[in-house]
A and B are shown apart, each in its own frame.
Chain A
Amino acid sequence: GQQLNQSPQSMFIQEGEDVSMNCTSSSIFNTWLWYKQDPGEGPVLLIALYKAGELTSNGRLTAQFGITRKDSFLNISASIPSDVGIYFCAGSSSNTGKLIFGQGTTLQVKP
């Protein structure tokens, strides 16, 4: 079945540093999305990407849909303590209705 490999598994950074995480797939996706989960809550959508090569920003967050349709990355610039949480990539193939998630990247930010 479809699988997403997300890396790194965890990150511990200093406040103000930039962060980069990525996701690769064994198959092609038509949609890539990035979610953030705060402790004790459900994931919340950060960025949605619908076209290969698309680069989209949301404040300090930037994400790209890889040209091969098999990968995506998320960058966070100038990290702050409230960026702490688990970040998930997710992909969807058209006409299936299924959204597959990566294993998550746990981000910790030291003030």
Chain B
Amino acid sequence: NAGVTQTPKFQVLKTGQSMTLQCAQDMNHEYMSWYRQDPGMGLRLIHYSVGAGITDQGEVPNGYNVSRSTTEDFPLRLLSAAPSQTSVYFCASSLLAGENTGELFFGEGSRLTVL
């Protein structure tokens, strides 16, 4: 199994550009989420989903959109990139929402730089 696959691994954008970070998992996980990692701030939850057609906001949702049309895919869209969105983005999934939600499998990350 590939696990959680993120693309692209690296991306450079100009301020105002839009883009989509792709995330796919092949483990039939119900729960998927996006985090951003910044130095000294740990991992902060952007958006999450407990199943196809269901999404909700995390700690830092502003400037990002998500959708969950299938169980496998959970893309993260940056509508108008800003330098403050320069970060490393991680997609993560787990088997069940609820008790075992925390047992997350993470992708390798996508490093985004906004100039």
Q: Which residues of A contact B (CB under 8 A)?
A: 1, 4, 6, 9, 31, 33, 35, 40-45, 48, 50, 88, 90-92, 94-95, 97-104
Q: Name the A residues within 8 Å of B69 (CB-CB).
A: none
Residues of chain A lying within 8 A (CB to CB) of residue B100: 48
The interface residues of chain A lying within 8 Å CB-to-CB of B53 are: none
Q: Is the CB of A42 within 8 A of B107?
A: yes
Q: How far is the CA of A1 from the CA of B44 in the complex (A)?
A: 12
User: In whole angstroms, what is the CA distance A90 to B103 when docked?
Assistant: 10
Question: In the complex, what's the smallest C-beta–C-beta distance from B13 to chain A, in angstroms?
Answer: 21
Contact indicator A103/B99 (Cβ below 8 Å): no
Partner of A42, one of B56, B58, B109: B109
Can you sample 22 A-B contacts with CB below 8 Å?
A: A6-B42, A31-B101, A35-B104, A42-B4, A42-B92, A42-B106, A42-B107, A43-B90, A44-B106, A45-B104, A45-B105, A94-B99, A97-B97, A97-B98, A97-B101, A98-B58, A99-B45, A99-B101, A100-B45, A101-B43, A103-B41, A103-B42
